[in-house]
Chains A and B, each alone.
Chain A
Amino acid sequence: MEQAGKSPPLKFDRGTLLLRHPPPKRVAHLCRRDARGEGWRCDALHYKAVAQALNEEARAYLVEIAGRGRITWPQANLPRLRPDQEAAAAAWMQSRRGVLVMPTGTGKTEVALHIMHRVAAPTLVVAPVRDLMYQWHRRIQERLGYDAGIIGDNTFNKRPVSVTTYDSACIYMQDFGNDFGLLIFDECHHLPGPMRSDAARMSTAPFRLGLTATPERSDGREAALDGLIGPVVFRFPLAQARGTILADYEVQRIPVYLSALEQARYDQCSETIRRHMLERRQEDPEYSGYDLRREYAKSPEARQVLAALRAKQSIEDRASEKLRVLADLFRLHPDQRVLVFTGSNAMAREVSVRFLIPCLLHHCRKNERRQVLEGFRDGRFRAIVANQVLDEGVDLPEAKIAVVLGGLSSAKQAKQRLGRILRRRGQEQALLYEVVCRETKEEARSRRRRNSDAYQGTRHFRTRP
């Protein structure tokens, strides 16, 4: 039973620190009086500052915090870092907290593994998706000989060194936030956000490493990373990476046309929408898509119009000619590994069933993912298709050809998708095919994509193979 009189002076309490006595002046601004627990509280994040302040006041504090043990790596097998990678590691080691901005393909995982090795503290690696979590698990095994615990994907196996996803970290950090000394946030631009931030706030870990190619967020919240992880301590711009470390790459855009039937349905949908908007704008010139969505609940007509909008999108996404183009691209590169990205799970399954190539979707369990990726690596599968699972960082070093069949247009996604095929391998050039419907919104999206930083300096030409 919890008894107020016996609680320790400083205690980790579900993601917060509970102080029994008034906090030292230096950290008082971080703490709040908590009448419910008869003490003061602050975010676990401030553990180091609070503990230091308490020690300076020379009060005899018993501090009940785990995660300060030292890890001995069973079998370290780390290749030497390149000078630029070493510079990144050294920059971080100075303060042991902060963000490294390194584009995909510059070996940020290697840098992180070296840092883990040097710090040798209980470590939690937080990855954006399950595939990446498993990839980290594999890399830790290969490079440090350690069989890391897995938290996520319906598994809860916590070990002194563990891997997890952002969602699991956000949910469970309140329970194990005092068990780790080092936190590594892979693709750390995912961290800011009112709830996600708890993955960093609710931990006492004094050492924090953020890895990202693209710290910028469209909501401008990247500033929060400073408090949650630390400042940017190293920046490796993409333009510098291209051509030196990374293979050169080329973007080819392939326009497709809707079939007569698809075009007819597409036009019919467009007409439904156009007529509705026209009618409504006669009554209300300001009438917009937003108003339309608001009417959805009450009006069967609005529902029809929105259904038409969705149907248009789906026609674009799943245009049958895309499958024909894909067949041609497969013929063009029969001996090379080809990665296919689609705009939806349904399209990914359609591609999978048409060509009998594996698809990596969210429902795939650990074992299946591993076998598919292994099969892709050793050539049993020459092509695989994915929706967004592969968007970030899944390790596919030898894929040189990627095909994008629709998808979202944010600059970040384009960069990361490019990153998939930009891995260095001799002088071989990488190719990204973008298959877009002509005369539709998708073309505008593709234009926007090409304007982002990642594409600058690449050659574009229109071809129809």
Chain B
Amino acid sequence: MLTKELAIFELDRDRLVPERLTRHRHRHYLGYARAMLSIYAKGLGCTRQELHARVKALFRGEPDCPPQRIAAFCKLLDEDRVAQYETDRRGQAAALRLKVFTLAGPMHPLVEVRDRLFEHAETEAKESIARQLGRSTWAQVEPELFADVFECNRLQQFTGYASPEALLSRYNVAQVQAALFRATRLRIEARADFQRIITHAKLARLLHDIRPGPGAGYTIILDGPASVLRETRRYGADMAKFLPALLSCRDWRLEAEVRLRGYGPPVRLELSSESGLKSPMPPPPEFDSSVEAAFARKWGTEARNGWSLRRAGRILQQGQTVFVPDFVLNHADGREILLEIVGFWTPEYLRAKIGKLKLFQGRSILLAVAERVASKWKDRPAGLILYKTALKLDGVLEALEAGWPRA
């Protein structure tokens, strides 16, 4: 990720628009991206400083290029994922320095030309130190003296980006992330992939507040514990971390509240699943298991006995605990039943699931449980649908007819 100093954006009244390099306006950047990738690919053994200078030189005649953009490209090319630098972990440079300074200590001060008072001249002293270290000249020692300094690290390996386009699309996402470093709150209107949104918000240690609507979707508000006390940007980095997961989801709209400075009104950053930003994460799988997938396929799209089936369309919540049952069954008469399939999972998974179900006892949740799992479940409730390898439509329809589950 970038740092917040590298964020480039425009303000359109109270709307913050992160910089975006587009095919239309920045066609020529494809050439730059290609050239930058080639500088790095050919730059094995060069110092960070040298590589950055070459990238900078590339843009010398470019009228449309703020300095943060160059710095941002360098940062993305340096990311751990794509580039490895020799960082002198064993402290060789530091050890060398101490040796050199210790040898030079008794000769202090090193004067330009020796005289009657001070007998150690800089050049002679340095050559003599080099010899004591087993090198033939000082010129061999000096470049190693500060090899551990960040800007003097040497490039060891560069896997790079798949294509110039990939670098540019990473850049565009990184700019949104950099703007989010100053965000105080995210507001997401989601219509699908609730589970992934919530799971990744939790992984980023954000707290959620979920409200139904608009329409059949949900509004998910994300911030942190202290956000209820004061507006704070301390969770901005967590929000930036969460962004790639959101970008991989379908059918959402994001509005982020951003504070550029401590004073002045907040500004908004808007984004949606239609914004065309590419996530480095693959899209979420449509179904968690083959049992779910097979069941949905068998059911099809039509209504059966008045019941229609929807995939993971309801969020149940209690405090920060959230449960998204696998399916929602709606009857033409307005009844709604939630269907959760408990497949073949580990004992820990089962324990967590049972805990969750207890928390949401009051809700109409129909449970379909694999027989192998059910046998391990002590004091399991009545009214379960048991299945062997595949969940059958008839089983579910019969249970619905029988008036299960009884809330």
Contacts and interface: CB of A to CB of B under 8 A. Distances in A.
Given A14-B224, A43-B226, A330-B108, A297 B209 contact: no
Contact of A383 (B108, B122, B145, B320): B108
B111 A363 contact: no
Contact of B66 (A297, A361, A367): A297
Interface in A294-332: 296-300, 303, 324, 327, 330-331
Interface string A349-366: 100011111100101110
A427 interface: no
Contacts of A202: 226
13 contacts: A3-B355, A3-B359, A4-B318, A32-B229, A36-B207, A37-B320, A194-B262, A296-B66, A300-B63, A331-B117, A361-B149, A363-B149, A368-B97
Given A3-B359, A330-B108, A368-B98, A14 B234 contact: no
Interface string B193-218: 00000000000010111000000000
A3 B352 CA distance: 12
Given A15-B225, A298-B63, A382-B105, A356 B126 contact: yes
A36 B67 contact: no
Given A296-B66, A356-B100, A367 B94 contact: yes
A230 B232 CA distance: 23
Contact of A1 (B97, B104, B262, B355): B355
Contacts of B124: none
A358 B101 contact: yes
A107 interface: no
A38 interface: yes
B302 to A, nearest CB: 38
Interface of A: 1-4, 13-16, 18, 32-38, 41-43, 174, 194-195, 198, 201-202, 296-300, 303, 324, 327, 330-331, 334, 349, 353-358, 361, 363-365, 367-368, 371-372, 375, 380-383
Contacts of A298: 63-64, 66
B101 A356 contact: yes
Contact of B109 (A3, A34, A35, A330): A330
A349 B118 CA distance: 23
Given A32-B229, A195-B234, A331-B117, A4 B319 contact: yes
7 smallest CB-CB distances across A and B, nearest first, come from A297-B66, A356-B104, A330-B109, A4-B319, A14-B225, A34-B228, A36-B209
B148 A37 contact: no
Of the four ranges (under 10, 10 to 19, 20 to 34, 35 or more), the interface on chain B belongs to 35 or more
Contacts of A195: 232-234
B382 interface: no
Contacts, number: 150
Nearest to A345: B149
Contact of A36 (B98, B142, B208, B232): B208
Nearest to A171: B234
Contacts of B225: 13-16, 18, 37, 41, 174
A314 to B, nearest CB: 15
B5 interface: no
Nearest to A324: B112
Choose among B109, B125, B209, B232 the residue with the greatest number of A CB atoms under 10 Å from its CB. Answer: B109
Interface of B: 8, 60-67, 69, 91, 94, 97-98, 100-102, 104-105, 107-112, 117-118, 122, 125-126, 129, 142, 145-146, 148-150, 205, 207-209, 224-226, 228-229, 232-234, 262, 318-321, 352, 355-356, 359
Contacts of B100: 356
B229 A42 contact: yes
A153 to B, nearest CB: 14
Contact of A381 (B105, B150, B209, B320): B105
Given A2-B321, A35-B209, A364-B94, A16 B109 contact: no
B263 to A, nearest CB: 11
A192 B262 CA distance: 13
Nearest to B320: A2
Nearest to A304: B60
B111 A36 contact: no
Nearest to A329: B109
B208 A355 contact: no
A2 B319 contact: yes
Given A13-B225, A32-B228, 4 more contacts: A3-B318, A36-B319, A380-B105, A381-B101
Contact of B94 (A4, A41, A368): A368
A300 B67 CA distance: 11
A308 to B, nearest CB: 15
Contacts of B355: 1, 3
Given A356-B104, A380-B102, A36 B129 contact: no
A465 B321 CA distance: 74
A3 to B, nearest CB: 6
A1 B352 contact: yes
